[in-house]
Amino acid sequence: MHSKSSFLVGLIGSGIAASRTPPMHEAAADAAGIRYLYKKIDLTELKLGVEALPELLTAARRMGFDGLNVTHPCKQAILPLLDELSPDAEALGAVNTVVVRDSRMTGHNTDWFGFAENFRRNMQDAPLARVVQFGAGGAGAAVAFALMKLGVRELTIIDVDVAKAQSLVDSLSPRFAETRVKVGHDAAAAVAAAQGIVNATPIGMDKYPGTPLPTALLRPDLWVAEIVYFPLETALLRAARALGCRTVDGGGMAIFQGTEAFRLFTGISPDPDVFFATFASLGG
């Protein structure tokens, strides 16, 4: 634990005006008895793109920031600008949390932890022999990493961009010798053989309505996990629940990636219940 009693933290990303992360962190800090100021650095509002990252990181160093969270479209663009990467961030090729110590910036990835912790708490004893994941983007990489850490035996990754799915398979396969990872080309066949499916695409968000697979492919013995949390109940989860599938929504992933980032920034393990209560109070 750090001896500091006050922290200055920021979130860099585009279109983050509605982000629940700052109030969740600040509520956790209040509960822990520390001062904590969390600033949103919205590239959209500032009319900036990722090319402004070097300047923003320099400013954060000079202004004494203790840490930064990073979201779309900066999670990969920030990699070459940091002094060091954690093994997880290096494996995933994406950073969502930056710890600043003595002006040195170390990149971490807590997205995978967020998914894994949410799954562990809500899907105890879920069968993990064969899982299908839809989506191979930045979030998809974190989710696939988490699924393999959770002990999935065979993971099929499906993405409209087959090359992206293949790239993710190629990058993760050597790190998990005990898991068979492959690209899926036939969603119907893959889901028919699976015990669980995960949506790691943006499909289901308010601005990207729909489902990542035809809901006719769902069946009651499947478990279904979601990473989208705007809205908390996506069309996919609604269809799955109507069939009687075990489901887990995306809210917990957002919460637990935040609790782990808070721990990295402060050295204090926050109370997840405070994060959950704050998340819910904001419309979750």
The CA-based angle 141-174-191, given to 5 degrees, is 55
Question: CA distances (Å), 170 to each of 26, 88, 90, 173, in order?
Answer: 39, 16, 15, 6
Catalytic residue, chosen from 4, 39, 40, 75, is: 75
Residue found by looking up tokens 């990872």 in the block: 181
Cis peptide before 73 (omega within 30 of 0): yes
* Catalytic site includes residue 4: no
Whether 39 and 73 have beta carbons less than 8 Å apart is answered as no
Please give the positions annotated as active site. 75
